[in-house]
Structures are given as C-alpha cells and as structure tokens.
Amino acid sequence: MFSYILRKILYAVPVVWGVVTVVFILMAIVPGDPARLMMGQRGDPATLARIRADLGLDLPLHQQYFRFVGDLVRGDLGTSYRNNEKVTSALVDRFGATLRLAFWAMVVAAVIGVAAGILSAVRQYSLFDYSAMFIAISGVSAPVFWVGLLLLLIFAYGFHLIPGVGYGDGDWRYLVLPVVTLGVRPAALIARLTRSCMLEVMSQDYIRTARAKGLAEKVVVLKHAFKNALIPVVTIIGTQVAELLSGAVLTETIFAWPGVGRLAVEALVARDFPMIRGTVIFMAVIFLVANLIVDLSYGIIDPRIRYD
C-alpha cells in the first residue's frame, strides 16, 4: 500500500512539472509589458526598469523559468501586479470559500444523484425513471451560469425565499443557491451513471440468488447490488472535481462568492499574470490530489483491488 501511494505520487511529479511549464510558457508569450501594466501611463523609464529588475523580467527567458520554478519549489508563487498581495496568501485566503462551496455541491450531488439513479434503475421505464433521466440530461446540457441565474430569478427575485448574491459572512442561506447551481451537473452525471451501473449489476446471477433465498428487496438493492455498482460512481466523483473547479469559476462569479474561481476571473480581467499563473497551477494541483485520493479509495470500496 505504501509503495503504491509513493509510486502514484511519483507519477504525478512529471505531470505537475508539465503543468508549471505550460503555464510559464503561456504567460511568457503574452504580448505587452507587465511593468507598464502595473504602472499604467504613470511610470517613468527608471521606475519601469526597476520593476522589471525586481520581477526578473530583464533576465533571459530560461533564467526567468529557473527562477520561477525555484520560487515555486519554495512555495512562492510571486506577487500580484495589481495590489502587491502575495499570490500564495491570496489563494489560502480564498480557498476556504471554494472548498466549502465545492464540498457541499459534491455532497448534494452524490446524495441526490445516487438516490435518483438507484430509484430509476429499480423502477426502470417508470414515470419516475423517465422524468429523472430527462432532468438529468437537461442538467448536463444547461450552462452552469444560466442555471445559477435561473435559480436566482425564481428563488431570490421571484419568491424571495433566499437572499441574493454574496457570501453573507458564512450564513448558510447564502450557500444554498451556489451549491445547487454547482451541484446540478455532477448530480446529473452521477444519476445517469448510477442507473446504468445498477441495471448492469441487477441482471447478474448473484442478485437472482439473493432474491431466491428470500432476502428483502431493500437488502438486495442496497447491499448486494449498490455496493458493486459503486466503483464507477466513485471514479466519476473524482473526475468531477475538475469540472467542479471549472464550474466554480462561473458560479462564484455569478454569486459574488469570494473563492479561488472569482479570484482567477478578477486576475484575468486585470491581466494580473502572477495571480493568473498561481490560480491555474493551484487548481491543477488540487485536481491531481483529488484524483490521487480517488485512486486510493478504490481499495476501500473494492477489497478485490490490491495495491502491489
């Protein structure tokens, strides 16, 4: 087990290095001078030169690269052009809000998705099945920002059930709409996958055996069938983390949610390159970590999987 974890982590190293390099190249080919961007029209040539020297922009590109990677290894992602805030501290400040949003979105999506998927499979071709699957496929096809606006229109502006946008100092009522908005897509995917996996498992011989020996249908469905249908579902939860982070960019923008996604958009609008670099690398690393955790959890769900 330990060597398996180690090997997985070692596999991730070249990928992380690739991510860092791609982001560096992307920011290096940008037209325009960051020093001028920082100072606007105010900067006199001497100040601009000093800023360039501070940022290492006067160095040849390969030296900039080594400096960038070296700083990164020491946990330094640079300083924002916009307000001189440390990129790492901005990320740490904002990550809590994103984590809270994404965590609850995933929980809601998993609970609703799995429940709807099981029910649909058990009552295949019923009205419930058709409507659940119709909602699911629409949920996958509707743009997340539009779903968010629709929810705002109905529940905040229409029925005044929920306050509008904002973080509300952690008040849970402000959490509801962003969580639902972000959770719709994963819930839909999980529901569809759970349904198809359940249908596959339910036609197996051991399910017939379980029924034949007189087990209650509830036990057959939840204990015998669902446990075996769970593996693909867990896999998709892992891949959904990336989608959640992408979705968080738009969801946080609509709901004025002070997370990393909104930080990224603010940085992009201001063309604040160190901050863009930082948020993109950060999200990619989060994604890799999440997938590592999913990889490792297979062994817990499925005892047939051995790590050696």
CA distance to 57, 62, 131, 205, 249, per residue, from 125 (Å): 63, 61, 10, 22, 37
In the region spanning residues 273 to 292, those forming contacts with another protein, defined by CB under 8 A, are 273, 276, 279-280, 283-284, 287-288
With CB under 8 A as the rule, give the number of residues binding another protein.
Answer: 51
Backbone angles phi, psi at 86, to 5 degrees: -65, 130
Burial letters 133-145, b for 16+ CB under 10 A, else e: beebeebeeeebe
CB 77 within 8 A of CB 277: yes
Between 108 and 189, name the residue whose CB sits nearer to another protein. Answer: 189
* Vertex 237: Cα angle to 233 and 240 (nearest 5): 135
Residue 225's SS3 state is helix
- Paired strand residues for 170: none
Tokens of residue 222, six digits: 């939840």
31 binds another protein (CB under 8 A): yes
Stretch that binds another protein, among 30-38, 41-49, 100-108, 223-231 (CB under 8 A): 30-38
Between 269 and 300, name the residue whose CB sits nearer to another protein. Answer: 269
Over the window 149 to 188, marking each residue x when it contacts another protein by CB under 8 A and - when it does not, the resulting string is xx-xx---x------x------------------------
Per CB under 8 A, the list member of 2, 3, 10, 32 interacting with another protein is 32
In whole angstroms, give the CA distance from residue 283 to residue 261: 9
* Residues in contact with another protein by the rule CB under 8 A: 14-16, 18-19, 22-23, 26-27, 29-32, 137-138, 140-146, 149-150, 152-153, 157, 164, 242-243, 245-247, 249-250, 253-254, 261, 264-265, 268-269, 271, 273, 276, 279-280, 283-284, 287-288
